[in-house]
């Protein structure tokens, strides 16, 4: 009997094969368009090489060789006539001063491209330390800073081997994409970097994050509304705020979150572990079919957390329950150590209590004594080892 591959593995194999095909096609080197590895801005040279490659009727690649280059705000626009690969072997540095950047465009954007691959051993350096340190709470300052990498409306594409470093805001934002994979991807920023989510996903489907290392100052991975069939496997997270679904319910007409799977991952020294969060007083919404399995927690705060009373900075009406319906959630084989006494917190909405929440083989220790749990508006189904004993007398 032959081996049965799951759909994620099949998609990854096909994308890797597609990337190999592109790498063997026509190559457009930015140095042939005047780019120099002396720290000077190569935006125009890179766009010229991209334009030629994008117009190629056969698979092509754009190459940024080893070295250090400056790069201004840039958008790689499709559609292209054939599969295309941007190979970055050097270090690209963002401007420190971004006052002339177009609002909401990010630093480097890729949009409306099919069969695109971003690869190489290069680094996208956002030079975030120049702007970190200012307060973000109740302020639009952090939200106005550029995101390192924006992927908008890509299909059948892959990001592999490259590094995003010290973004001024989110490192990666995924919007409106379908069948996009991150493989052997690296996010690097210190714990004190503000609002620097590693990968944020919204309104996208078929997103796979595999064999990826994320160190940052906010959520390692955050999943927003309209996200469907998101697979996260073999991810190391920490420092950071953990892996989060949400926050959901802040805005009207948010699309459902359905089909989230996190497996085989390790979180170390993070503020939270696996977290599902929704706002009180929210419009109606749905978050369902979410599964978290085979996850190691190393000194993690709140390793297992559902919080439907999420209200940072007291900017909401906590007395009004969330209307986001959470259902069909499993936590299985979650083990390790909690940095907080409260290791399992399941606080669901009194308006729409959580349904079909299962905890199986939970083994979490707390160095300060016995770990505890709390449950509210939920009756979880328990199986196997339960440490702490969740929601039971």
Determine the Cα–Cα distance for residues 74 and 111; give it in Å rounded to an integer.
Answer: 11
Is 200 one of the annotated active-site residues of the chain? no
H or E segment to which residue 276 belongs: strand 274-278
Q: Which token pair is 13? A: 């194999």
Contact present, 51 and 79 (Cβ < 8 Å): no
Active-site hit among 218, 219, 233, 307? 218
Angle among Cα 88, 231, 381 to the nearest 5 degrees reads 155
Q: Do 149 and 171 touch, CB atoms closer than 8 A?
A: yes
Bridge partners, 386 (sequence order)? 362
Element (H, E) at 23: helix 7-23
Give the contacts of 44 (CB within 8 A, at least 6 positions apart): 33, 34
Q: Which two tokens stand for residue 183?
A: 């493989």
d(CA 307, CA 318): 12
In contact, 300 and 329? CB cutoff 8 Å: no
Catalytic residue among 33, 171, 200, 241: 241
Residue 239's SS3 state is coil
β pairing state of 257-268 and 68-70? unpaired
Is 241 designated active site?
Answer: yes
CA distance linking residue 2 with residue 370, whole number of Å: 47
The helix or strand, by DSSP H or E, that contains position 194, with its residue range, turns out to be none
From the list 327, 333, 273, the residue with the least C-alpha distance to 300 is 273
Contact 275, 223 (CB under 8 A): no
Contact of 27 with 63, CB cutoff 8 Å: yes
**CA-CA distance, 325 to 288, in Å (whole number)?**
8
SS3 content of the chain, % helix, strand, coil (to 5): 10, 45, 45
* Active site positions, annotated: 218, 241
């Amino acid at each position: 009997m032959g081996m049965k591959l799951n759909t994620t593995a099949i998609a990854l194999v096909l994308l890797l094969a597609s990337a190999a095909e592109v790498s063997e096609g026509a190559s457009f080197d930015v140095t042939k368009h005047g780019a120099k590895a002396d720290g000077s801005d190569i935006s125009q040279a890179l766009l010229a090489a991209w334009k030629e490659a994008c117009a190629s009727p056969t698979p092509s690649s754009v190459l940024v060789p080893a070295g250090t280059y400056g790069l201004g705000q840039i958008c790689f626009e499709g559609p292209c006539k054939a599969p295309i690969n941007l190979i970055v072997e050097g270090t690209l540095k963002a401007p420190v001063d971004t006052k002339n950047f177009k609002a909401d465009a990010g630093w480097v954007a890729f949009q409306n491209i099919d069969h695109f691959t971003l690869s190489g051993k290069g680094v996208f350096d956002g030079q975030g330390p120049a702007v970190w340190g200012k307060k973000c709470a109740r302020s639009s300052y952090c939200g106005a800073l550029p995101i390192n990498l924006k992927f908008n409306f890509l299909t059948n594409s892959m990001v592999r081997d490259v590094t995003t470093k010290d973004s001024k805001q989110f490192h990666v934002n995924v919007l409106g994409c379908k069948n996009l994979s991150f493989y052997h991807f690296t996010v690097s920023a210190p714990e004190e970097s503000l609002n620097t989510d590693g990968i944020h996903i919204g309104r996208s489907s078929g997103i796979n994050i595999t064999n990826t290392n994320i160190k940052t100052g906010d959520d390692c991975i955050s999943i927003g509304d309209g996200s469907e069939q998101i697979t996260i496997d073999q991810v190391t997270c920490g420092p950071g705020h953990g892996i989060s679904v949400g926050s959901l319910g802040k805005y009207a007409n948010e699309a459902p979150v359905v089909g989230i799977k996190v497996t085989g991952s390790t979180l170390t020294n993070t503020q939270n572990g696996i977290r599902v969060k929704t706002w009180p007083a929210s419009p109606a919404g749905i978050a369902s079919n979410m599964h978290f399995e085979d996850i190691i927690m190393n000194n993690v705060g709140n390793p297992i957390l559902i919080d439907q009373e999420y209200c940072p900075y007291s900017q909401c009406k906590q007395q009004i329950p969330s209307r986001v319906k959470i259902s069909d959630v499993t936590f299985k084989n979650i083990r390790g150590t909690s940095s907080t006494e409260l290791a399992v917190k399941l606080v669901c909405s009194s308006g729409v209590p959580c349904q079909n929440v299962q905890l199986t083989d939970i083994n979490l220790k707390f160095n300060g004594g016995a770990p505890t749990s709390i449950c509210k508006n939920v009756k979880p189904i328990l199986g196997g080892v339960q440490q702490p004993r969740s929601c039971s007398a």
